[in-house]
Amino acid sequence: MSQRFRGKAVVVTGAAQGIGAAVAQRIAEEGGELLLGDRSPLVAQVAETLTSGESAVKSHECDLETFDGAQGLIDAAQETFGKIDVLINNVGGTIWTKPYQSYGIEEIQAEINRSLYPTLWTTRAALGTMIAQGGGTIVNVSSIATRSINRVPYAAAKGGVNALTASLALEAAPHGIRVVATAPGGTSAPPRAVPRNTAELSEQDKRWYQQIVDQTTESTYFKRYGTLEEQAAPIVFLASGEASYITGSVLPVGGGDQG
């Protein structure tokens, strides 16, 4: 196994399950020291399973929809490692799936809070540290859903992540900081331990959700969802030194769907 992250301090958000947990596992296997952030207590269990003699893996419960939560995570990383070599912003995900005119005002705000602000806040909190230490890498997790149906607020949030990636890369490059992103497509994963939407779905809700499944599958060249491993690998590559001449880019990982 490659040791691309030996001696590197890495923060992964949204690490309690799904893509975030898969990314954390890869980086731990490659020698990285990790701080896993999530608002679910399950993040501590993930950290425990990844801790070995080779890697130090810590966890921190935080609400990254607030700047205070993001700052607390970055402060914990500083206290634990004394530096932040890599920040992987993975928090986000559609809460509802329905035509835009069917979204309530509070639901629209909740989608933006969930899928844009955690990346904005955590990046802002970490940036000063990276500038002071003379470099670092920020990997944002966006989505090919910037062109999709039945999740316009989520698409807008991830479009904001793409714009953040492109714009901040220009500002941060003189400080030795790379800012990149992947845009995952549909991804097969175990049922979420903490669902984004706890309400029981109506028959109409199920039909709207099925429409995005059908569109996502049809828009890929392979006519299937990707795996967690297929999403984690590009993120880990972009976070590594092997991608040292890549910045400002958003890499679609959607089986040919460019988003």
221 has catalytic annotation: no
Q: Are 143 and 114 in contact (CB under 8 A)?
A: no
Q: Are 28 and 90 in contact (CB under 8 A)?
A: no
Closest CA to 215 of 108, 94, 111: 94
Query: How buried is 170 (Cβ within 10 angstroms: 0-12 exposed, 13-18 middle, 19+ buried)?
Result: exposed
Task: Work out the angle between the directed axes of helices 152-172 and 105-115 (0-180°, nearest 10).
Answer: 30
Active-site position among 100, 154, 225, 245: 154
Q: Which amino acid is at 33?
A: E
Catalytic residues: 154
